[in-house]
Amino acid sequence: MNPKLKHSLRLVISLAVAGLCSGFVLVGVYKGTQPRIQRNRAEAIQKAIFNVVPGTASTGALRVENGSLVPFEGNIGATEERLVYTGLAEDGSLVGFAIPGDGSGFMDTISLIYGFNPQQRVITGMEVLESKETPGLGDKIMKDDAFRANFAALPVEGGIKGVKKGKKVHPNEVDCITGATISSKAVISIINDSNEETLPLIENFRMPAADQPSAESEAPVSEVGAADSQAEGGGQ
Amino acid sequence: MKKDESYDLSDAQRELIKGFWKDNPVFIAALGLCPAMAVTNSLRNALVMTVATAFVLCGASALVSLSRKWIPKQVRISIFIIIIATFVTTVDYVLQAIAYDAHKDIGAFIALIVVNCLILGRQEAFASKRPFGLAMADAVGMAGGFGIALVMIGAVREILGNGTLLKDTPWMFSVFGPHFEPWAVMVLPPGGFLCLGALLAWFAWMKERFERKKQPETAASAG
């Protein structure tokens, strides 16, 4: 064989072997770690649902199919599908929904989840799942209790608006964080966009019969469990 | 190359120690400064980055040293990068599995370990030319030196910028109490530069002082 060709072949084989070995190792590591990573993701989402939908005893997941919400049976930590979560009381009645959303922040994409009470039409809580906002400033959207308290009983009618800290007059306004206005407004914009997309689906959603303890199962969600949610103090 | 194949314990010891002080990758060689400033806004993040970098550096050095005779010179850098990237991806997955919250905070910088010049530099300058034992001693020393730098920067920034140590861990404690007004700039990028600059100056001053002290002793023993 031509020595030049032999030499070139050796280089190609060396790189191919290195790539192959790397591929095998990575497949093994991926297979080994995925179940735990998915479990961690699912746990983080579950924890967030309990925080943003007060009174939740158990959770469920819904996916969008042909413009309506249907029960999702898979692993919520494994799917890339856009889901909407339900917060259920101990008796199985609906307490509220947890809606995920994401959009551009100041540094990178912000992923969050917020609770929604369909009877009172208020947001019941907000939690940022992932963000790379500026440490010490933008990351206050995750850590600032005063900012997060804005979302405890926030009406969605007319859309949510961000105002300078201390200038809040109307109930649908949110006090932005001083020094993190862009991040605060990004959160508001993500929620408004997500509301526009998800609230019509929620309004048409009917709880499946299996989850519904009474004959109210066929009623639209805006009428289901209103008394329950008031008794639970839903949305407060 | 032949003479490098045999070595004794003192050689390994020398290679191990140099990374901590004489050739400290951050304070002396000024390598790996991106993670040294980007993730050191808290001590926990600094520790996680130290462990991740140490794993990649030691694993890559071991593999490069063991396979150095089979790696053709012309494609060595590509193969080093394949090896480093494999370890980085592994540590990224493992971190997501065992420390999900920490990964959420510094995940972007974990992937960037692959372009940390400290790691590729040690493969090219050392591990690819030395036997396994020396390569490991060098890797452990360099990882230790890198870790010391990150922990020092992380601790100073967290104490001044947040008034705590080990926040976001079960062992968090407040250093200055509840009335401390955090110096927010320290957890921001300018704080990283300020802290690194101050520590570099301190390290250079210590080194100079140490060498000045050593000189009269050497002169006296020679006389």
- A vs B, Cβ pairs < 8 A, gives 63
Strand extents, DSSP E, chain A: 58-65, 68-71, 83-88, 94-104, 109-117, 122-130, 154-155, 161-163, 173-175
pLDDT at A208: 66
Residue A18 lies in a domain: no
Are residues A221 and A207 in contact, defined by beta-carbon separation less than 8 angstroms?
A: yes
Q: What is the mean pLDDT of each run of 10 residues along chain A (236 residues)?
A: 87 95 97 95 92 92 89 85 91 92 90 93 92 78 89 91 88 90 94 94 77 42 40 34
Q: How confident is the model over B161-216, as pLDDT tens digits? A: 989 999 888 899 899 888 888 888 898 889 999 999 999 999 889 888 988 888 77
Q: Where are the alpha helices (DSSP H) in chain B?
A: 2-5, 9-18, 33-38, 43-66, 76-98, 100-111, 117-125, 132-162, 189-222
Residue A49 lies in a domain: yes
With an 8 Å Cβ cutoff, are B97 and A137 in contact?
A: no
Measure CB to CB from residue A26 to each of B75, B86, B100 and give the nearest one: B86
Measure CB to CB from residue A15 to each of B41, B78, B93 and give the nearest one: B78
* Chain A residue at shortest CA distance from B93: A33
Sort out which chain B residues have CB atoms less than 8 A from A36's CB and list them.
Answer: 97-98
- The structural domains of chain B, with segments of one domain joined by +, span 14-213
* Chain A residue at shortest CA distance from B162: A136
Q: How many domains does chain A have?
A: 1
Amino acid residing at A182? I
Residue A16 lies in a domain: no
Can you give the residue range of the structural domain that contains A42? Answer: 36-232
Sort out which chain B residues have CB atoms less than 8 A from A137's CB and list them.
Answer: 184, 188
Residue A213 lies in a domain: yes
Residue A98 lies in a domain: yes
Residue A21 lies in a domain: no
Strand partners, A60: A86
With an 8 Å Cβ cutoff, are B94 and A33 in contact?
A: yes
pLDDT at B148: 95
Instruction: Give the pLDDT mean for B133-156.
Output: 95
pLDDT at B197: 93
With an 8 Å Cβ cutoff, are A134 and B188 in contact?
A: yes
Residue B222 has pLDDT above 70, yes or no: no
pTM recorded for the entire structure: 0.79
